[in-house]
Structure 1
Amino acid sequence: MGASGRHARGWEGQVSSAMAENPSESPSGGITPLQQMLASGTGALFTSLFVTPLDVVKIRLQAQRTPFSKGKCFLYCNGLMDHLYVCQNGNSCAAWYKTPTRFTGTLDAFVKIIRYEGIRSLWSGLPPTLVMAVPATVIYFTSYDQLRDLLRAKMDSQGRYIPLVAGAIARLGAVTVISPLELIRTKMQSRQLSYPELRVCIQSAVAQDGWLSLWRGWGPTVLRDVPFSALYWYNYELVKDWLCNRFHLKEPTFMVSFAAGGISGMVAAVLTLPFDVVKTQRQIELGNMETLQVTASKSSTWLLMRRIRAESGTRGLFAGFLPRVIKVAPACAIMISTYEFGKTFFQKMNQEQQLSSL
């Protein structure tokens, strides 16, 4: 036993020294950026599969109360990303809000959609969700891990505020990269533009207002998403460490990551809800793309918050509290636990490859 133990420890030492000599090949606990991207992309896929039915039901319930007329738009959210969906006419949005009967509640909507339209209808919004959610999530989670590890290496510290800073910067980068894609996709939805027509539309907008016109709506999104991410990662690392200490674990398990992700997502969702209310109201008020071209700064986020508070009181800034928590908390839990599981899988795979090569 002693010889085999020394032999095993010798191999482990060789692996550790090999990884130390080649840190660029083993970032973030022994996995590469490409493996981080694969893990986060898989997490985004699983999260979207889970949350999309909830959003389809929510949109159906909203639509029967206030039917969407030509050119109207509504907000589609899968718990990870928000998407502006514009209905140009009845045919283009039939899958979303033309239902065979009225719904009396959430459970009734689930039952009737499955009975009359088939279970696949619950995922009718999945393609547009994946188009935006997967690349945004890949950029976001990979950037966070890389930034966190970089800050820890530079500061030579396990400082508790590093996740907060890394989360804020990673989200800022993801929002900045995805914002023009979101605008382009919304234009195509609103007018059914061909690619040549879309190119002409973008060129004219850039010629008139400059390249910054592609980032309209960036400000309100940053005000909501950056604080959310900072709070989320800060609380996630705290809760994860607390749970590991509580159950005497050296490494977080799938359930620890799931619980920590759900709790931190819920806290962040509640604290940033006023910004979400403002962004949602602003987007819903944009009835057509001509209105969408108005510069966001003409309607200040803070002025809109004051108006909501004056009309509906402080409670108005926390409208939609329960639906947001119900959707965001499990989405965060599924996303982070799947991501951590994927990273663990790649770490073990890399270690086995290192052992086999020695």
Structure 2
Amino acid sequence: MTPRTLLLAPDKFKGSLTAAEVVAALTRGISATAPETPILACPIADGGDGTVDAALAAGAAPRPAVITGPTGHERETTWALDGITAVLELADAVGLKALPGGTLAPQTASTHGLGELIARAVDAGARQIVVGLGGSASTDAGAGLLQALGARLLTAAGAPIRPGLAGLRELAEVDLGPARALLDGITLVAANDVQNPLLGPEGTAAVYGPQKGLGPKDVREADAVLAAAAELLDPGAVHRDAPGAGAAGGAGFALLVLGATQRSGADVVLELADFDTRLQGAAVVLTGEGRLDAQTLHGKGPAEVARRAVAAGAEVLAVAGAIDLDTAQLHEAGISRAWDLLSRAADVPDAIARGEELLDLVGREIGRSLSGVAPETPGP
């Protein structure tokens, strides 16, 4: 029997392994028990961590850069360039993972460094700039990003506002003209899978502020500050209520104000990775992420991979650190079988620490399944 070609298309296992590392570990395991199985690789992301890695894995060129990190320190990051398309990632540039020592800075963290990357992409000749949003450290409505692109965000005294939410409190005058001029002729894409508006109970401060260090009182105050800023940045109230305006502490709002188009992060990354072309050569697709749960089913990367794979007539398998979906939910998503790491570990920290080892073991089980070999019987 001719072996079926397998396409590996997992997202990252957040806090443990990148998508590329997941692919490598699974490949080692599957190749050990099903060496005849042809394996294709397509690491994915949904606009957050791993977006640039996915573009690089698809052949884009890495562009290292030193920028302003979320709290004003120098930060080394990388963006990707493929022809005239640039791919940038907020998470690595100015996100939570970029905070020195992981210390939260809810009042002062800024998106300035992301704006610096956008300007560099323009200087490099990019005509389409894809900005992956997710994992942000700030709630500044993208004010830092706008300033880095030349926008004038001033206090009542005519001075530039300070970084972060604290600085946004001082905003009295806005001139977006220089930023819009810089981006004239540029197609700007905000890539994320968040549908939150900027303001209100479903807005960026209420939903995402706590994970950045905002307490209940801080959240209420932040929402009021964002509302006042929106009056100046979006006087026609065109963008503040748009789905996705609340992405990344309001960076989605800033991009929309600059004329960006919002698209599903999963869709954008799958396009960049040329997933559909790779899918044509596969009979089985293996996807996954750190946790398969209800959020997965609402447009996240693995769900979109499964949807496309099923439409192409491929069987879909999945692997995750933990699985919170029952068999019926998995089947409804198009996933015929799933493996987890947590049941093979002592606890969550153990599963995270031994992620590569456990993925290798799961890969061996998947290889036996693909080869039609019965699983090994556990020892006493």
Would you call these one fold, judging by a TM-score over 0.5?
no
Structure with the higher helix share, 1 or 2: 1
Higher RCO (CA-CA < 8 Å; seq separation 6+):
1
Structure with the higher strand share, 1 or 2: 2
TM class, shorter-length: under 0.3
Give 1 or 2 for the bigger CA radius of gyration.
Answer: 1
